[in-house]
Structure 1
Amino acid sequence: MKFKRKIFLEKGNLDMVPLIDIVFLLLIFFMLTSSFVFQPGIRVNLPKAVTSEVLNRDIVVIVVTDDEHVYINERPVTSEELISIITSLTGKNSSLLIKADKNAPLGKIIDIWDICRQRGIKQVNIATTQ
């Protein structure tokens, strides 16, 4: 005698809620553990130039903001301090980099440039973005 078996295959339902929970937790984990690099400093919108070059050596950076504040190596300075610092750099055969905001008054940048040329600094560079 041969018995006939009744085999019923039930179609399984895959529950999506645990899968969504795991993906959400992984997303939160990677967002919280990733490190964001923020460069501290003074916010300046540099003008764009096609023919700019990259400077690789350590130079003194003068930053001019759009509201005419002047910083040397991220330290605010007055006009008298600016002149004395530029005068102290005269004998060291150094170069300067002027990072001026594109909305900064041109007269302020020219004044700094003239101070540098009067004090004998030959190489004055202006920072741009490419």
Structure 2
Amino acid sequence: MPLPSPTRLQPRLTLLRGTTDLVPLVTVLFLLLLFFLLGSSFVTQPGLVVELPKSSLGVRVPSGGWIVSVTLTPETKEGGGRKPLIFCRDELLDLAGLRKLLEEAGRGRPPQTLVIRADKDAPAGLLVEIMNAALAQKWSVLLATQPDAEPPGGP
């Protein structure tokens, strides 16, 4: 009995020909970008390291508040002591300059919130003076702290 001759099968499907639609690819890339942007954390005060005091309880900081950072100068070999530095709105200020800035910001506007990010070794008297300057403008004042489980360097 002779074997049947092999027949060649013809595929019914053909490869797609034409241009590739890039809209779904671009949409997925934009969604991924949006996902990573919303999932990332934002730095409130870049470049200024403040070792905040630790606290087991904390308060959420309002997003629209002003931030005043109080840090100390680095230690020197001469042992002259560390002096406090006050930063507000990316400016190095003294106490009188901060008072003037708060007065100008408070004119004709509703009271705002002042968040003090003070180094744990900052003098308490200076913090009270900053609080008094803000309270004189009827601003609310918050003292930023670091949760016990968070590493040093601030929120």
Residue identity opposite 2:93 in structure 1: V
- Aligned pair partner of 2:124 in 106, 121, 127: 106
| Pairwise CA distance, 1:57 | 1.4
Change (3 A) 1:56 1:112: closer
Cα displacement string for residues 6-55 of structure 1 (whole angstroms, at most 9, x for unaligned residues): xxxxxxxxxxxxxxxxxxxxxxxxxxxxxxxxx63211100011110222
Structure-2 change in CA distance of 1:118 and 1:93 (3 Å): closer
* % identical equivalent positions: 23
The 8 Å contact of residues 61 and 99 in structure 1, kept in 2 or not, is answered as yes
- Contact 1:63–1:74 (8 Å) recurs in 2: no
Q: What is the DSSP-based 3-state SS (H/G/I as helix, E as strand, rest coil) of the residue aligned with 2:129? A: helix
Task: Give the 3 Å change call, closer, same or farther, for CA 112–56 of structure 1 in structure 2.
Answer: closer
| Residue number in structure 1 paired with 2:138 | 120
Aligned twin of 1:5: none
Give the aligned residue type for 1:62.
Answer: V
More helix by share: 1
Asked whether the 8 Å contact 1:48–1:129 carries over to 2, the reply is yes
Does structure 1 residue 71 correspond to structure 2 residue 71? Answer: no
What amino acid sits opposite 1:115 in the alignment?
A: A
Structure 2: 5+ residue runs without aligned partners? 1-42, 73-82, 148-155
Residue 56 of structure 1 deviates from its aligned partner by 4.2
- Cα-Cα RMSD: 1.8
Question: How many pairs does the alignment contain?
Answer: 92
- Which residue in 2 is equivalent to 1:129? 146
> How much has 1:76 moved relative to structure 2?
0.7
TM-score when normalising by structure 1: 0.64
Counterpart of 1:94, as a letter, is Q
Please give the TM-score of this superposition, normalised by the length of structure 2: 0.54
Asked if 1:62 corresponds to 2:68, the answer is: yes
* Residue deviations 1:53-101 (CA, integer Å, cap 9, x gap): 2224121100111331100033211222201111123233211000000
